[in-house]
Amino acid sequence: MLIREMKKEDVREVAQIEKSCFSQAWSEQAFFEELSNPYGKTLVAIVNDTVAGFINMRMIAGEIYINNIAVKEDMRRRGIGDRLLSETECLPEYTEFITLEVRKSNIAAISLYERRGFVKVGERKNFYERPQEDAVLMTKTKEKPERNDDK
The CATH superfamily assigned to 2-141 is Gcn5-related N-acetyltransferase (GNAT) (3.40.630.30)
pLDDT(101) > 90: yes
- Burial grade of 97 (CB within 10 A; 0-12, 13-18, 19 or more): middle
Catalytic residues: 101, 113
- C-alpha radius of gyration, the chain, whole number: 16
Rounded (10°) CA dihedral 107, 110, 114, 116: 120
Q: What is the pLDDT of residue 149?
A: 53
Confidence of residue 122 (pLDDT cuts 50, 70, 90): very high
| Helix ranges restricted to H, the chain | 11-21, 28-34, 80-89, 107-115
Read off the DSSP letter of residue 79: S
Residue extents of the structural domains in the chain: 2-141
Confidence of residue 151 (pLDDT cuts 50, 70, 90): very low
Q: What is the pLDDT of residue 93?
A: 65
Residues 99, 13: Cα–Cα separation, whole Å: 25
